[in-house]
A and B are shown apart, each in its own frame.
Chain A
Amino acid sequence: MLALRDLQAALAGIVRGEDQPRLEAAVIGDAITAAARLRIYRHHIEQSLTTALAATFSTVQAIVGEDFFRAMARRYVAGDLPCQPVLAEYGAGFPAFIAGYEPATSLPYLADVARLDWALNFAFHSPAANHLTPADLSSLPAERVAELPLALAPGTAVLRSSYPIDRIWRVSQPGAADETVDLGVGGVSLLVLRREDDAAFVGLSEAEEAFLSAVERGETLEGAAEVGFQTGGAFDLSTTFARLLALKAIAATQHHFVERVEKAL
């Protein structure tokens, strides 16, 4: 008799496409054979995980079409089943898989679009945490503010690509205008954000991206500003900072620090 632990491990093997003769022998077959009955479960797992990936990576699917997407996703599913049961959190490894997926080499931007899909999904499922507001800062001398360690708000991500993935994303949405994207326009930097009721992205200038990447590394406002000034491009700290505060892109993790500074004053 198959112990429960062995039975469950064997069924996992069926899902991965293995032959499991002991398990097959333990399943009652009739006009519908044991093998055919086991395949129903295997197909469902493949189908349902592929469908979950299609929902998360909807732009990738729009670009390649359903048939190609499902074939690609099936390969990924077989090699990287979920490590937890929440499907909204499944697929973190899919962009890297796409980058190495040979049939997709004619679409070199596809993996970066997948990273954008994933970042939007991640932002959407991140908590709407407190963000830094002008009021948090207005009571402090600017010199103190300069020393604040900054961090991006939960779900916020900076994305760089050598391809115009913002335009590719736009023409791939349902109901998009019938226009083309010329890859020749070059790369882009994007800021992905969790907002009140959805997730969204905006374009970043080179200096803004440098500033935000420094924030992402945990730099102080002063350190991040210096990085921004060093990019050589026109970096307007005032406008950049005002924009980022308005976008709620900076975390309020320094509330306690602000309070400490206030008490010390």
Chain B
Amino acid sequence: MRAVAGIGLRSPHIAEVAHDRPATGFLEIHAENYLTGSPALRTIERLRGDYEFSLHAVGLSLGSVEGLDDTHLERVAALAERLAPALISDHLAWSVSGGRYFNDLLPLPYTEEALDVVVGNVLKLQDRLKRQVLVENPSCYLGFAHSTLSEPAFLGELVRRSGCGLLLDVNNIVVTAHNLRLDPAAWLADLPASAIGEYHLAGHAVNDADGEPILIDDHGSRVSEGVWSLFDAVLERHGPRPTLLEWDTDIPALGVLFEEAARAGHALKVRAATDARAA
């Protein structure tokens, strides 16, 4: 897929997109919303002729010590086969324990043990899908004292051992760095740039935890200026990639998403032009 900007397609906008077919770089959908027999999947299939798709899973639980759920894996694989999306991704996180699902992207300790677990799960996923998947850095609200690797170093090892790509969520870097007292620039420096296959951008909220500000990845507002400037730094360091604008809470009119995506698209073009001049 070319390094263009797209939007996350959410249910309140499906009818409008299906009717108006507005121009955008690509559309990303959450796999878990299209695994049933609902009419929504057929609507997406009708859009396949006009749009490139990215399939973003939120429930594979790649960090689960219990391994991938075969039933869920088969459902996602069947959907991937039907839609033939340009990109497939999920998160560096886990969401199930003892057979119960928490519907959350829960944090991993960055240890050799966890690395073995994630590598095994990603290999199994790629083996079943017969293609590379992208793994996204999560938003973290806590870190573990026994972690022996930094998050980017963990992702780097994961890429090396599984052959997966990375989905770099720039907002998540800002959220995690603030909450865990890390330096976003140092975080970026450690990353294997060639593995990056997609960027995510979204808004976050500033909440209060015990009187301290904490950033919450609520996808409920415009992308913050801090995230935009880090995005510029990311582009300068790693180059343009397909870039997605996500909005999941207090979802505004479709036009607002396109405004944000246009700003991302402009940043991608400026960087591509600068790179072309330099070359």
Contact = CB atoms under 8 A, between A and B. Distances in A.
In the complex, is A directly touching B at CB under 8 Å? yes
Interface string A183-208: 00000000000101110000000000
A7 B216 CA distance: 23
Interface string B197-221: 0000000000001111010100000
A41 B106 contact: yes
Contacts of B75: 86
A41 B143 contact: no
B146 A26 contact: yes
B94 to A, nearest CB: 6
A3 interface: yes
A193 to B, nearest CB: 13
Interface in A17-60: 25-28, 30-34, 36-38, 40-41, 44-45, 48-49, 52
Interface stretch (B108-116, B162-170, B269-277): B108-116
Contact of A12 (B36, B97, B143): B97
Interface residues of A, number: 50
A30 B212 CA distance: 10
A49 B103 CA distance: 7
A175 interface: no
A81 interface: yes
Contacts of A27: 142-145
A126 B103 contact: no
B254 to A, nearest CB: 20
Given A27-B143, A34-B142, A82-B100, A88 B72 contact: no
Nearest to A37: B142
A136 to B, nearest CB: 22
Interface residues of B, number: 52
A28 B101 contact: no
Contacts of A44: 104
Interface in B218-242: none
Contacts of A124: 38-39
A85 B32 contact: yes
A32 B212 contact: yes
A44 B61 CA distance: 17
Given A84-B101, A86-B59, A127 B37 contact: yes
B100 A2 contact: no
Contacts of B212: 31-32
Contacts of A155: 37
A154 B37 contact: yes
A52 B37 CA distance: 18
B29 interface: no
A89 B36 contact: yes
A259 B253 CA distance: 52
A15 interface: yes
A70 to B, nearest CB: 16
A26 B145 contact: yes
Contact of B65 (A4, A84, A87, A126): A4
Most chain A CB within 10 A, of B72, B104, B214, is at: B104
Nearest to B211: A31
A3 B113 contact: yes
A83 interface: yes
B204 to A, nearest CB: 13
A53 B60 CA distance: 21
B109 A26 contact: yes
A86 B24 CA distance: 28
Contacts of B146: 1-2, 26
A9 interface: yes
Contacts of A87: 32, 103
B104 A83 contact: no
Contacts of B64: 8
A28 B113 CA distance: 19
B157 interface: no
Contacts of A85: 32, 58-61, 69, 72, 95-96, 101, 103
22 contacts: A4-B108, A4-B117, A5-B66, A8-B65, A8-B66, A26-B145, A27-B142, A27-B145, A28-B142, A32-B179, A32-B210, A32-B214, A40-B141, A40-B209, A49-B103, A82-B100, A82-B101, A85-B61, A85-B72, A85-B101, A87-B32, A125-B37
| CB-based closest 3 A-B pairs | A85-B59, A127-B37, A125-B36
Interface of A: 1-5, 7-9, 11-12, 15, 25-28, 30-34, 36-38, 40-41, 44-45, 48-49, 52, 81-89, 124-128, 154-155, 194, 196-198
Interface of B: 32-33, 35-39, 58-61, 64-66, 69, 71-72, 75, 94-104, 106-109, 111, 113-114, 117, 141-146, 179-181, 209-212, 214, 216
